[in-house]
Amino acid sequence: MAVQWILVLHGLATLLVVISFLCGHWPIFHGTPIAGFHDFLTFGAYDYFLRFVGVVCGDRGTNAVLSVERYCCDRPNPTLQVIYLAIIGVTYYIVAKSCFMYIPGYYLSGVHRYTSFLAVAVGLLLFLWTSFSDPGTVNAENVQRYISAYPYDNIIYSEKECSTCKIPKPARSKHCSVCNRCVARFDHHCGWMNNCIGEKNMHCFMAFLFW
């Protein structure tokens, strides 16, 4: 019975974190603890951490943390990819080490050992596919094709030139300051994928999130 209550509390805590992180900025939660928890998760915790480092280590420590942040978040590098793969690998190892001894059991057949591995393998495949696929890089050779595919509406999108790439910017494209390239139907730069998410890899990114 105690284990069941632990699982219930764990589930509720996870739900609170997910809702606060993803939805805490919605107007419906304004002035509620969920909004406060959202601010803490997204900004407050890191700000308190920087203050703590500044008190303990001074400006040198704060600058070191900010340098790591810039390296991980403001330039292409595989750090977050390695961290993600380590999290998945260690978690799967712990689950396999602690739970596989009960499979097969009263509720589960032996096939669950293999389906769990398949589930992790598919997730990793989608992760790597998204990470190393072309998001839809716009360059001088293909820019006219993208302009034809995404015409300007002169309301939200008007004809303009990318000041960095020195080529016309198709509608819905954006220059990624991290990757230093223009991306068609740009959505965002994903640090965990070490790649932009755009026209050509949005489908595999959504498949990864869904999986």
Residue 51, pLDDT score: 93
179 in catalytic set: no
Tell me the mean pLDDT in the region 148-156.
89
Which H helix or E strand runs over 85? helix 79-99
Do 164 and 181 touch, CB atoms closer than 8 A?
no
Active-site option among 165, 176, 182, 190: 190
3-state SS of 137-155 is EECCCCHHHHHHHCCCCCC
**pLDDT 10s digits, 179-199:** 999 999 999 999 899 999 999
Tell me the domain boundaries of the chain: 5-74, 78-118, 142-210
Sign of CA dihedral 65, 67, 72, 78: negative
- Extract the tokens encoding 121: 């393998």
> pLDDT tens-digit profile of 42-65?
889 999 999 999 999 999 999 999
State residue 73's pLDDT score: 76
Which tens digit of pLDDT belongs to each residue from 66-116? 998 888 777 888 888 999 999 999 999 998 888 888 878 777 788 888 888
Residue 167 has pLDDT above 90, yes or no: yes
C-beta separation of 145 from 138 below 8 A:
no
**Hey, what's the torsion of the CAs at 170, 200, 69, 18, to 10 degrees?**
110
